[in-house]
Structure 1
Amino acid sequence: MLNRFGRHRFQQYPLTPDEARVYREYQAWLAHRNMVDFDDLIVKAEKLADRVAERWDYLLVDEFQDVNAVQYDLLKRLAAPHANFFAVGDDEQSIFAWTGADPYVLERFRRDYDVEPIILDKNCRCSRQIFETARRVLAQNPRLFQKQLTADTESPYDVAVQSFRNEHDEATWLIADLRTDPDPDAAILYRKHRLGEYLEGRLLRAGIPCRLARGRSLIEDTVIGYVIAALRVVRMPDDAGALQAFARIVLSPHFLQEVEAALDETTPFLSSIRALAQRRPGQHPDTKKLWRLVYQAENLRALPRAHGTLPAVIDEILSQAVGPYRNKLEERHDELSDPADWPEAEIDDTPPGPALIKAGIHGRGALTVFKALQRAHARDLDTALARYVTFDFETTDNDVETCGVVEIGAARVIDGEIADRFHTMVNPYKPISPRATEVHGYTDADVAPAPPFAEVFPRFRAFVGNDVLIAHNGQHFDIPVMKRLAGEDGVKGLAFYDTLLLARSLSRDRATQEDIAHRFGIDCGRAHHALDDAVTLAQVYRELEKQRTARARKAVLADLLDYLAVGLALEGENRIPEAQLVFDIGRFRALGPYSDALEFYGAFRTPDMPTLDHVIERLGGHKLLAQLRAQRDPAQRYASAVARLRALVDEKPSLADNIDALLERVALSKSDDAEPAHSRINLLTLHSTKGLEFSRVYIVGVEDFEIPGYQPATNHIQDEIEEARRLLYVGMTRARQRLTLTRVAQRFGRETGGSTFLEEMGLLTRGQISDKDIALPVLNVKE
């Protein structure tokens, strides 16, 4: 859908009426939150081009074939003052039409600037055998430029084709080939993620380390990561590391650091969590998340007693909500009013849920009663620290790994008031960069008489004592700098808190300390001076905690949204915007399998009240009710994730052995960054391979229904077929020495439609393409 939106913006791609409606809603959603998406950045940047064009004298653009029309117009405006415009591109590697990219942009460039292209006619990566074969797949496409390209490197290997009955036989051959002739610089390429995920499972079961470069390793899949973290708790229920890893998945980042700061290392993890939950306000949404963590950990401990097989344990884990604990009112807090600002409403001893339905029946205003209930349950929600120390470092530069500290400032706060301050200059014994001097004003001469960090830090550490240390953006700068310079022993026992995480959870506005301070009307003093910044941060933290408390008031009693929705449904259709918002959230819960709100109303209603069917229709109807209450199997809800997990599960003698084997296989799957990994088989989509190269490449699935795909192949969509040829060409030219292309007769139970591109390259004949009964031998390209 988002791809079609992008093509609509850049290429006037027509949308269906339903798509146009969703597009308008999507644009309104972004505008309401003061947000832009990637396409908006491009469109809005074009309007700013004239303001910044004179900053540069030369414009150089790489991968020019991937530029779309809007980007090209932006680039032309940037180049307008000087016309020094240098572009590097290859029309035969244009493979991103879904972003609006068009290889004809190169021809536009040639005409607009009246230039002749400089042809780089020598391929220095591929062997001659690979390059000449790859060029044949492009021979069927129209040419923008006349080029005679060659490659001179010879390889002992010809391009090979392997044909199989199905994907199982194909993967079996790949594993055998990789084992028989290992290559530390090998890659398997494919068009669709599903194929890569299947191959990943087969490789891991065979004990072959692999990596979804520029893709998702097993652990990076949200659902799989959650299951693996839960299984570690099942396997080691008393292990603090396993429990903390699970907590990192289900708790929000800003709250997690508060939890970790409060943990007692001498006490079992769950005992510390219980103690923290007991100390916090009981109705606070974050407190409820702590109790949920405790109960879930206890349930995970008990799973082996209820289920004897790993698939059954995984299904049970996936039967519950997956991922971070969510509170719908908390997530939409910026669209909700504070209950403290609502007028008083009378509430009696009726339980809160039924009270909301009765309010709807009697016309008392279900939302008004809900706000009154929230206010009554939201007393004493303040969770701000009673005492803490805010601090700030000024440094020689902004490199966390190498910078030195030139100034330390800190402020101790007790019960909301600054009680003490700490300040010192520091000699970093390294030059202060000119850019840093522009920011904080200090020069080498200013800090020359100051003591070194090693002499200053013990005094700072004594000042901090046992208080929590608070910094803004501390996790990414001040805290790692402190740990590097003070060492592990120096920071032992310190607890840290980063206000940036809290600020970002509360607002989508810019979250620099100065911006936040200005929004709160706080005087920053001398910004970028350590003590002034520490004092400012003390006030900023206090205001952020007030906002956090207000958000908590808005999110209290979120478990009553189903009753509120029924109450609002009884009131009719004419609702204020906030009532409509909570109704739209709550109606799905009211119709869902875990709510008894409708059952309560059905038992409570009298003949003069709306029928239960009438209320259900107002909430969304019986069809939606049936859909929401249908118990879907986890394999249906999380089809891709479950398929990847099941591909790795063996039936070993014990549940513990099965879990251990799965965890070991997951460890063989890795995806750290964009670069390929040596010593692991790299699994990549063809689109993600540009700029990469490997000694050996397997391109899997060179079949019509895979490349170019079912719709282009059956409907003869020429522009998509031409782009698929370019995509295959890009993949083939990633190989330096050895290239193998594979095809199957049936993939995942469906016919594959032949292999037209292999035929065009002369690698298969029409008779061989139609042979679906036997696995074909290797066919070599003979010169």
Structure 2
Amino acid sequence: MRGLSFTAVDFETANGFRGSPCSIGLVRIRDGIETDTHYTLLRPPAGFDRFDPRNESIHGITPEAAAEAPRFGEAFAEIAAFIGEDILVAHNVIFDLEVFESALEVSGLGSPGLSGLCSVRLARAVYQLPSHALPKAAAEAGFQLQHHHHALWDARAAAAIVVDIARRRQTPELHELFGAASIDPEVLAHWAAPRPRESRATRQVRAYGDLFDAAVPLGDRELPDLMRWQEEGRNLPANPEADPAHPFCGQQVSFTGNLVIPRGEAKQLVAACGGTTSSRVTGSTSMLVIGDGYDDADLAAQHDPQGPLGSNKAEDALRRRAVGQQIRLVSEQGFRTLAGDAWPYAA
């Protein structure tokens, strides 16, 4: 496949914050053939380097295994040199670009600007499979993924999928290949450090002090997982002995997006302070808390269809507000401020 050239990438992370890479795999493809690879364990950026046992159980990388590895910031020059001017390919490339983004931000580094194409979206457009998860899609491409969640093996699998589909379609030019499936590149912007406004993922964790810092004892709490869908949790009755002056007392609160505390715990907090909660926006909802790192400035940008007001619950809340229902939209930062002393994490 002369002309089919790119670099495939995969990260594993130490915890539920995207900016905690603990390994990276890179595979260089030239004319449809693997010509070089780069793999290294990484120590995540300082202050964000606590290993979560849930992540360790997935990829098998422990703090001890990565203890002598370079920090992401120390390794990035070599990583960037390997990528060069290539476009990246990954299975769910948005995630990998977000890892680059947050890890660069918390390392105090600028971004060279990167772009990537998503092999899982291409696989869904071409392969007729019940599941397009990486092992299944790679097998369809003729690649047996022997070590899933090893960054180099996963990068090879993503590369194999793109090479196989390019051969089937006899289309070696990447943009033409992905464009035929209406897939545009995802772009990580160029910036010089320090970045004037950091990503949502980074802004969200910066508000929680030493929570992700391996040098600070965690106690008996679990780390939050900010990458996976949170369970709704139970809707509890309001505490009848709550302070009637508390901002949550008498409110009915719904949530959309991930918070640093689990949604079930957030609901318990509201109930303890005299409020009630609902798993959806209803005619009684008076407050919608919007997570995922969106802040008050994001909430003010209501024109952004991909922004915080694009979720189903937020759209429902806006429709109800338009016909007179009083619903307050609150960021995680605002929710934390309203919670006051009830909030479980120190800033």
Aligning the two structures, in what range does the TM-score lie when normalised by the shorter sequence? Answer: 0.3 to 0.5
Q: TM-score, normalised by structure 1?
A: 0.22
The structure with the largest strand share of the pair is 2
Q: Which has the larger radius of gyration?
A: 1
Q: TM-score, normalised by structure 2?
A: 0.48
Report 1 or 2 for greater relative contact order, CA contacts < 8 Å, sequence distance ≥ 6.
1
The structure with the largest helix share of the pair is 1
